[in-house]
Amino acid sequence: MNQSNPNSILTKATLLLASTLTVMSGATIAPSLPAMQDHFASVENAAIWVRLVLTVPALFIVIGSPIAGVIVDRMGRKPLLIVSAVLYGFAGGSGYVLNSLFAILGGRALLGLAVAGVMVSATTLIADYYIRQARATFMGLQAAFMGLGGVLFLSAGGSLASASWRYPFLIYLFSWVLVPLILISIYEPRRVNYAESPGGNQSEINASIPVNLLILVYGVTTLSQVVFYLIPVQLPFYLRSLTNATPAQSGIAIAFCTLFSAFASLSYGKVKARLDFVSILPVIFGFMGIGYGIIGLAGNYGLILLGLATAGLGLGLLMPNMTVWVSFAVPDAVRGRALGGLSTALFLGQFLSPILTQPVSQNVGLGLTYAFSGALLLVLGIAFTVTKQQVIALTAVSKPVQ
């Protein structure tokens, strides 16, 4: 077996580029949604179906992530990453040629399964390759790369959508470029079978799983994503009604949020060196709450960009914090399944977002929806500040099986 060096530039670059595929899954076509809705205007309930084109991959990521978690723990990381990257390009690019809205939704469902495999395998590989501060730093770098990838793909998607709503689907073929890099640079890490090792058995492993912590992390992640996905799902419509923004301007606005998210993610290693996991949560929800409040109360494009930048600073710390927290707390033998559960929570929130927020926005308007969301996030941040010691005690873990 080729035990390549995980610190090699090629291995790191491949893991980071593979991680960008997750943010591409939805964000790339976000600027296309208004034009797609116009194209399929004759389809009954086109408004909700078109929004589901963006979010239905999240449902199938929810379904696929636990399965991917079992596969990476039992069959290996690299095989799943290769198969998922191949399927990703096929399913993602299908929207360019399909003429039925429901066929496009079918392709998006397959894309969701592919994203589940990519995200769980790539994140588990990072947790396998790196430990302690190196892991926190690289997880922050991973999230930053995802943010920067979002800037690139959203900007490209916005520009391409100005010519045709179909063109952004071609961006998904980028995954096929990564397949040779995965074959060359990624190696399957050696993992201990704890059930067969001296002093280790499945019951001990199960007993060491921090259930309270996982419930908290998964719950907070789901809620945060319900709120976060108000940006890619609803912002193009909000901007068009408020400022008559073009698809390119919508793409730039969403990319602006991901750019500042990337800046925050790059600093996560330094933030984590100074604060514990629980103390970072009020920082996250403080930035997000203020940002969403500005978006909801803004009256022009410039103020909305300011709100997006502020919210992005919180979003950039969110996933590195949750991922490193889970990776630290669970035994190695179930790491893939635990991170698969985190992916499930992440994308369950994204899928539920339009379902939960569309009725609210239709009744009170998108501006108030953003403002109410900001207030909710600020309350959540204050709650974690006040109850910090109780949360730490509730989620305390014994030393994980290593």
Query: What are the tens digits of pLDDT across the range 330-366?
Result: 877 777 788 888 888 988 887 788 888 888 888 888 8
Per-residue CA distances from 402 to 78, 127, 197, 310, 362 (Å): 21, 12, 11, 38, 50
Report, as ranges of residue numbers, the positions in the chain whose pLDDT lies below 70: 1-4, 26-27, 150, 191-208, 396-402
- What does the block give as tokens for 90? 């096929």
Residues whose CB falls within 8 Å of the CB of residue 16, separated by 6 or more in sequence, listed in order:
141, 142, 145
User: What pLDDT shows up at residue 292?
Assistant: 94
Contact assessment for residue 110 and residue 286, using Cβ atoms and an 8 Å cutoff: no
Q: C-alpha dihedral over 81, 86, 87, 92, to 10 degrees?
A: 110
pLDDT at 191: 59
User: Residue 400's pLDDT is what?
Assistant: 47
Cα dihedral 374, 380, 383, 387 sign: negative
**282-305 tens-digit pLDDT:** 999 999 999 999 998 887 888 999
The predicted pLDDT at position 305 comes to 92
In angstroms, the CA 131 to CA 98 distance is 44
Q: Residue 206 has what pLDDT? A: 55
Strand runs labelled E in 239-281: none
What pLDDT is recorded for position 81?
92
Crossing angle (nearest 10°) for helices 211-228 and 277-297: 20
pLDDT on residue 334: 78
